[in-house]
Structure formats: structure tokens, C-alpha cells
Chains A and B, each alone.
Chain A
């Protein structure tokens, strides 16, 4: 059988597109003399929660707007749901922008039904879905109220309903936890997990690193328009792991060989090790001293520490 490279590449490309719901390749965008996005590339796989991170003004929102065809990139390409963005695909995407907004003078239910219908839902289904979500988000009793009469948290929930009411395949969500109390934050997290389990792909842009650590499998960190950190979250954390361990013991920790520095951390201690020392050496030494250990772990940096480190390196 003769090898047909074109056919083989086509098949591979199709397979790739099935897996990747978003493919962003070397996009750049400037506004006048300001270069908002210089070079950003990443892909989001089907059914994952992907974190888009970056400091203020890094180019996250511009990247999202380019993905949604609100802005045209100066260069680069975007493939979304298997190809370029079009009007039909808008119905399959749920978008919650950073700048929240609903018709302030409109009653809650009417506004949500209208937005659902704009996403291609027929009237009856739009009303049914809105009703379902209003009940789930404890907003059913406020459905006749004007949006402006709702609290900030309620408006945030209404915004989430507008994003999810048409049951999109792809959800792009900017700072989903802003203005939510802990109860509602947990509810949104559960909802996102539920969506992921159903196969919905979620791209989440946020500053709340602990939420990213909890929810996302993969991340992209953008700084000054460049993608600076990209990949699996666990792999990234491992990559940034220093030569250190965290120890908590009952009583005092004795003087140990091979330790460069001891940094107290709440009830624990972070031990920075010499080049040639391994964690096993320290563990053996502690056991020799008959220290009763409550915690002994390799010191993995938190995402916010990685974030700050990468951004500061970029500044230098």
C-alpha cells in the first residue's frame, strides 16, 4: 500500500482538532503603538479546565477576545471547535467576560431568556433552562426583579446563568469567583466540575491561584503579551520545586547536617538542603535522633509563588 502523506497529515490534523477545542498559534495584536499581545500560543483539550493566568495588562482579555473573533489578530491563527470562528459556533460557546454587564433596567428572567435565545435556543427551551438555573442558583424568587435591584453576588450568579444557560460545549470564563461568598464559590466550583465531567471544555482566566490549583489540569501564564509558562500544572510545580523539604515534628528539630537554612513556616519548618544532601539523608538523620514526625514532604512551591517568581524574572 502506497503512503499518502497528505492523507496521513489530514487524518492527524483531524485527530488533533478533535482533541483540541482551542488552538491558538503565535497570535499578536496591537492597538496603535501599544502591543497588547506579542506572541501567544496554546491549546485547550476537550473536557479539561484550562487556566489562563497573568498579571493585569498581560494580554489575557485581548487573547480571549481574539479567540472569540471580537478582535482580529494582526498575525497568527486561532482554531476554535475545530476551525475558524463563525456565527454558528457562537451558539456553542458560553462566554463570561471580565467586564460584567446585563441590561440593568430589564427584569432578570426576561433578560436571561433574551440572552439564551440569542444563543440559538428556541423560546420554550430558553425559558425552561432559565427556570432550571434560577432555581439552582437560588434566584427564582427574584426573577421579576430588575437586574439593578439585585445584589452584586446575585448579579454575578445571573451572569453565570447567561454563560451556561444554552449548555455550551466550550465555556470561556473570566474571573468566575469575583463577588461570590464561600458558599456560592463552592457551588460554582462544583458546577465547573460537573460540566467537565459531562465533557464541557472550560477556559478559565483568574488571579485566584488557589482556585486554579484546585480546578485546572493545565495552565498558560501570560506576561507582557508573551506566553511564559505553559503546560501541565503538576509538571510545572515539579519543575519549580527547589532542593528543600517541609518538616513538622513533635518537639524541637535537632541540628541536622547537610541543611543550608531552616525557615520556620507556621508550625512547620522548611529545610533548604545542601547540593549533595538528599531528602532521604535528612529522613534517616531525623529517625536517628528519634524525632516523632508529623509531616515530612518535598517542598513543592505554590502556584502563586511560581507566578510571582516568573513575573519578577520577566521584569528583570
Chain B
């Protein structure tokens, strides 16, 4: 077997046997499962089935369009039961119904609702989230009756509803969009997860380099293989390890989707989809980004004398990755603005920024091409740098390389 693959195989087997790897394989899904289970029980406990009343002082809901059904299950066949909405002509009647527990709450629509949008909610014990959500939908749908098509478009974009309209206005009853809001976040969540995965895996690589320096194995290894074979093999092993990790997480996610579909509310898992164009863009950028970070952290490992020191230094690479998450607002407000462009083309923040941008917007092809090109160049450069620094730093037992040494290495 080629020495490159021999190193990769050994690195893979060595890391897979570590407790940390097993914990990360199982720990992540267990955490997600716990969060979803908790969410499920919270939602379930919040749903209450008693009717909701309303007093329409503005006459806004005369001949009202009924509230639309929200589907509750993943397969889309079952619908959430609609709570009865009871009209009361006076607040006193509504109050009496509330006191006698016939209704769980009632809304009072103010006389000047069309101008002020003022609606009052009265309850003894806070109503279920299904009740408030249903009344909210009911109001939104009725708001759009006869609305100008452009205004309706803007309104539905915010509320996850679909409306049909002609020149005269909105036609028929609006319904819910097939697209869930979660769809927008999938690429971004994937991007963040992948970034974390990159750092976990590259951390293994960094640890391996520091460890080999620490236990003096390095000198024996480099008398058998070239630094390029050693570093390249290690990076390949770590990439395969990460793919195994990603595959196991994805398998869990699919299992979770299938099992959870029958039990979780429709609005959480409604029509989850990964769009090929978005997935393709992310994958295209993920591979060079991964190699680049692996190279960077291997360089850090070669420079450092202790794992703790290497960990601290690796933060210098982790923080720029997270900048796009902290600057989410300006990026979303101006996806093609200078901040977005800078972060898209700056190698360390490029991958996360592009994940955020493709999640919500159509990103120009040339932006993807430039970001990808920069990442590929940096990936090659970082692996080259890692093997150079490794060559110099590997035998400096107990000593850290100085920046001056790194500049010397890069110049030579």
C-alpha cells in the first residue's frame, strides 16, 4: 500500500478507537434528540382544546373567511383540529363564558381596529399556543381580503401563507405555503454544523501532530516517509474520519425524520427539503474549506509544543469562521453589500458566509466561483505550509516555533 494511504488508514483507525470520537458520534444525536423531545413535550403541554371567543367591535370579521388548517404531520395527510371560534356580541357575554370555563380565552377587537390594529386578549390561565396561533391565522387571512396584490404578496412572505390574486384583488381563501421556514435555515445550520465538524476533526489532526512531537515518534516516522506523505496522509485520514462522522449524523437525521414525522408538529418538519443547487454550492466550498482548515491546524500543531497551547492558537482560526453568524443581520439586510462580499472572499470566513447567503438569497455565480477559487488556492497553500512548518518544527522538542521562523519557512 502506498505510504500516503498507509498513514491515512492508521490515522483513521487510531482516531476511531478514541473515546472522544465515539462520544462525538453519539453525543450529537443524543443532544438533538433531547432538544426535540423537550420541544415536543413543551408544544404538547401548551396546546389546549377549549374553544376561543372573540368580540368584534369593529365589524372586521363579518362574513369572515374561516381560519386555515395547519397540517400536523410529516406526511401531510392529517390536519390539526381547529378549535371552535365563538363570536360574542358583548364583552360581558364573553367574560361570562370565560368564567364558566366554556372558553379558554377571548379576544376583543377594538372599534378602531382598521386604523390601530388593536386587539385585546383576555384569559384567566394563559391560553394554548394552538389557540393563539389559530386566531392569529384567522386575523391574517381576513386582513388580506380584497387587499392590493402587491401588499398581499408582501404580507404572505412574512406569514408563510399563499394567496392567489387577479387585477381586482385576492381570490379565494389563502392557504399555507408548502415551503417551511426551516427550509431556509437548513443550509445555514448545515454550514455551522460542518464548521464545528471541521474544527473537531482538524483538532484530532492537530492533537496527533502535537502528540507525535511530544512522544518523539516524529523522527522515526520521517525517516520512513516524506513530510508531504505524512501530512497529506494524516489530512486524508481525518477527512475520511469526518465523512464517517457526517454520514452517521446524517443517518441519524434521516431516522429522526422518519420516526419523528409521526409525532412532531407539522410546522416543525413541514416539507423539509434540500435544494440541489444549494447543496451543490455548499459541497463545492466545503471540501477546499475543510482541507484549508486541516492544513492550518496541522501547522498550528507543528508550531506548538503542547496541546493546550495549540488549542488556544486554533481559536485564531475558529473566530473568523463565526463572524458571519455574529454579523447575520447586516449580511441578511444587504446580501451583496461590502460586508457580505468581504466575508465571502476572506478565506477563513468564506464558507460560513456563503452558507448563510445561499440559505436566504440567490447568490451570483461569480461570487461562488471566486470564493471557491480562493478556498482551493488557500487549501493547497495551507497543506504546503503545514508540511514546511512541520519539517522545521517537528524536531524542536519542547520549543514553540516563532512567527519569524514561519516567515523564514514561507520565504524559503
Q: Which residues of A contact B216 (CB under 8 A)?
A: 97, 99-101
Are B217 and A101 touching (Cβ within 8 A)?
Answer: yes
Are B219 and A87 touching (Cβ within 8 A)?
Answer: no
Residue A115 at the chain B interface, CB threshold 8 Å: yes
Q: Which residues of B contact A28 (CB under 8 A)?
A: none
Q: Select which of B1, B220, B395 is within 8 A of A115 by beta carbon.
A: B220
Are B14 and A95 touching (Cβ within 8 A)?
Answer: no
Q: Which residue of A is nearest B221, CB measured?
A: A118
Are A101 and B224 touching (Cβ within 8 A)?
Answer: no
Q: Which residues of B contact A114 (CB under 8 A)?
A: 6, 10
Q: Which residues of B contact A119 (CB under 8 A)?
A: 224
Are B10 and A95 touching (Cβ within 8 A)?
Answer: no
Q: Which residues of A contact B397 (CB under 8 A)?
A: 99
Q: Which residues of A contact B6 (CB under 8 A)?
A: 114, 117-118
Instruction: From A43-51, A102-110, A298-306, give the one contacting chain B.
Output: A102-110
**Distance of A70 Cα from B215 Cα, bound (Å):** 18
Residue B226 at the chain A interface, CB threshold 8 Å: yes
Residue A134 at the chain B interface, CB threshold 8 Å: no
**Distance of A96 Cα from B220 Cα, bound (Å):** 7
Q: Which residues of B contact A99 (CB under 8 A)?
A: 216, 219, 397
> Which B residues from 179 to 232 make CB contacts under 8 A with A?
212, 215-226
Q: Select which of A97, A115, A120 is within 8 A of B219 by beta carbon.
A: A97
Shortest Cβ distance from residue B10 to the other chain A in the assembled complex, whole angstroms: 5
Q: Which residues of B contact A70 (CB under 8 A)?
A: 219, 222-223, 395
Q: Select which of A65, A118, A123, A162 is within 8 A of B3 by beta carbon.
A: A118
Are A162 and B220 touching (Cβ within 8 A)?
Answer: yes
* Range for the number of chain A residues in contact with chain B: 20 to 34
Are A68 and B223 touching (Cβ within 8 A)?
Answer: yes
A79-91 interface code vs B (CB 8 A; 1 in, 0 out): 0000000010011
Q: Which residues of A contact B212 (CB under 8 A)?
A: 101
Residue A164 at the chain B interface, CB threshold 8 Å: no
Are B220 and A93 touching (Cβ within 8 A)?
Answer: no
Shortest Cβ distance from residue B19 to the other chain A in the assembled complex, whole angstroms: 11
Residue among A91, A103, A120 with the most chain B CB within 10 A?
A: A103
Are A101 and B220 touching (Cβ within 8 A)?
Answer: yes
Shortest Cβ distance from residue A145 to the other chain B in the assembled complex, whole angstroms: 15
Q: Which residue of A is nearest B214, CB measured?
A: A101
Q: Which residues of B contact A105 (CB under 8 A)?
A: 14
Are A97 and B220 touching (Cβ within 8 A)?
Answer: yes
> Which B residues from 383 to 412 make CB contacts under 8 A with A?
395, 397
Are B220 and A95 touching (Cβ within 8 A)?
Answer: yes
Are B223 and A95 touching (Cβ within 8 A)?
Answer: yes
Q: Which residue of B is nearest A105, CB measured?
A: B14
Residue among B10, B212, B221, B397 with the most chain A CB within 10 A?
A: B10
Q: Select which of A90, A100, A102, A104 is within 8 A of B223 by beta carbon.
A: A90
- Top 3 A-B pairs, shortest CB-CB distance: A101-B216, A118-B224, A99-B216
List residues of B whose CB falls within 8 A of some A CB: 1, 3, 6-7, 10, 14, 212, 215-226, 395, 397
If A70-B223, A101-B216, A115-B224 are given as contacts, then 14 extra A-B residue pairs at C-beta distance below 8 Å, sorted by A number, are: A65-B395, A70-B395, A87-B226, A97-B219, A99-B219, A99-B397, A102-B215, A102-B217, A103-B215, A104-B215, A114-B10, A118-B221, A120-B3, A162-B220
A–B Cβ pairs within 8 angstroms, 19 of them = A65-B395, A70-B223, A70-B395, A90-B223, A96-B220, A97-B219, A99-B216, A99-B219, A99-B397, A101-B216, A101-B218, A102-B217, A102-B220, A103-B217, A115-B221, A118-B3, A118-B7, A118-B225, A119-B224
